[in-house]
């Protein structure tokens, strides 16, 4: 007997699983770097370059924004990627968090 | 310590024996940061994250162990610091420069946290405090080496850079 002839009934994913999957694919998470009085400005610029592959000019713009405005939104990403970037920035001892983009 | 030249995809720094000894001692202080020091988010509950705090801390611990092992091996290489006219030639790949930057910054920030996370311009207060003065000195030494390493990377990318001749330990006043 052909197995394909009998449709398989898969269990319905529960609400939490579906919500989480949708959130993980939603590029609605911001990676924010916060100002602190201790990290060297050139170092912060350098870390932005190596973590995000940015040009020096772009990295400097964000570094200056962190320094002058207290924070800079670095990227808008999926939950998984935002978490990855936050981990990378923490590895280099930069104060970064991920937040849900409410706009 | 100062950048000397870029050779065969490596950066070569000149470092005096005292500087070499200080650099090694600073690197041996790694890791100085608590793995759970940094918050993951401010406006969200950390439990909402797929991995969450526990996994983040575990990843950071693994990362720290790996980095500590790498720097330990690097410092123990016999040919890493090549004697040259009373100084040492320290040859590093760009990846190794990034590793040292990461380590020195960890030690620098770790000292800052242990000193009570003082605000900018609090150096005078720290210098007057015998408990915290050594932390300030360590922070500044890390900053000195970080500056020299960043200067080397900049000069490697921009060989025609006509900035000053790099950082000298003598110029540094803790």
Q: Are B42 and A20 an interchain contact pair (Cβ–Cβ within 8 Å)?
A: no
- Inside any domain, residue B172: no
Quote the pLDDT of residue B118.
87
Q: Which residues does B19 contact at the CB level (< 8 Å), separation at least 6? A: B1, B169
- Inside any domain, residue B71: yes
- Cis ω for the linkage preceding B29 (within 30 of 0): no
Which comes out higher in pLDDT, residue B158 or A54?
A: A54
Distances (CA, A) of B69 to A29, B66, B103: 34, 5, 12
Distances (CA, A) of B73 to B27, B53, B69, B80, B93: 12, 30, 6, 10, 15
The least confident of A29-43, B18-32, B117-131 is B117-131
- Inside any domain, residue B171: no
For B38, the closest of A80, A83, A90 (CB atoms) is A90
How confident is the prediction for chain B on average, in pLDDT? 88
Domain covering A40-103: architecture: 2-Layer Sandwich (3.30)
- Inside any domain, residue B169: no
- Inside any domain, residue B174: no
C-beta separation of B149 from B100 below 8 A: yes
Quote the pLDDT of residue B17.
96
Q: What is the pLDDT of residues B98-135, one digit of tens each?
A: 999 999 999 999 999 999 988 877 777 777 788 889 99
Residues of B with CB under 8 A from a CB of A: 33, 38-44, 49-51, 56, 59-60, 63, 98, 101-102, 105-106, 108-109, 112, 117-120, 139, 143, 146-147, 150, 153
Q: Are A92 and B102 an interchain contact pair (Cβ–Cβ within 8 Å)?
A: yes
Quote the pLDDT of residue B173.
46
Measured in angstroms, the CA of A61 and the nearest CA of chain B are apart by 17
pLDDT-derived band of residue B69, with 50, 70 and 90 as boundaries?
very high
Range of the structural domain that residue B150 is part of: 2-163
Asked whether residue A4 carries a pLDDT value surpassing 70, the answer given is no
Residues A66-76, mean pLDDT to the nearest whole number: 97
ipTM: 0.87
Quote the pLDDT of residue B58.
92
Nearest CA in chain A to B97: A46
Quote the pLDDT of residue A1.
46
Residues A13-28, mean pLDDT to the nearest whole number: 64
The total number of structural domains in chain B stands at: 1
CA distance B58 to A80: 17
CA distance B1 to B89: 10
């Amino acid at each position: 007997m052909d197995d394909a002839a009998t449709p398989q009934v898969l269990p319905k994913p529960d609400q939490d699983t579906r919500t989480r999957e949708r959130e993980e694919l939603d590029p609605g998470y911001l990676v924010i770097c916060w100002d602190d009085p201790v990290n060297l400005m050139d170092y912060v610029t350098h870390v932005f370059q190596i973590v995000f592959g940015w040009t020096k000019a772009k990295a400097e713009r964000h570094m200056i924004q962190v320094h002058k405005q207290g924070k800079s939104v670095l990227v808008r990403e999926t939950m998984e990627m935002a978490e990855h970037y936050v981990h990378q920035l923490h590895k280099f001892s930069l104060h970064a968090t991920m937040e849900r983009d409410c706009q | 310590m100062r950048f000397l030249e870029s050779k065969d995809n490596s950066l070569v720094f000149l470092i005096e024996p005292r500087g070499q000894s200080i650099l090694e001692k600073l690197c041996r202080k790694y890791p100085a940061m608590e793995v759970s020091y940094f918050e993951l988010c401010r406006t969200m509950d950390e439990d909402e994250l797929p991995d969450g705090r526990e996994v983040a801390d575990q990843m950071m611990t693994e990362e720290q162990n790996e980095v500590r092992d790498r720097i330990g091996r690097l410092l123990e290489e016999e040919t890493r610091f090549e004697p040259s006219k009373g100084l040492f030639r320290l040859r590093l790949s760009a990846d190794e420069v990034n590793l040292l930057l990461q380590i020195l910054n960890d030690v620098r920030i770790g000292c800052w946290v242990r000193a009570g996370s003082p605000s900018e311009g609090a150096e005078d207060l720290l210098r007057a405090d015998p408990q915290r003065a050594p932390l300030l000195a360590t922070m500044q030494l890390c900053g000195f080496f970080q500056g020299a390493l960043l200067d080397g990377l900049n000069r490697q990318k921009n060989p025609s850079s006509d900035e000053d001749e790099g950082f000298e330990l003598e110029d540094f006043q803790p």
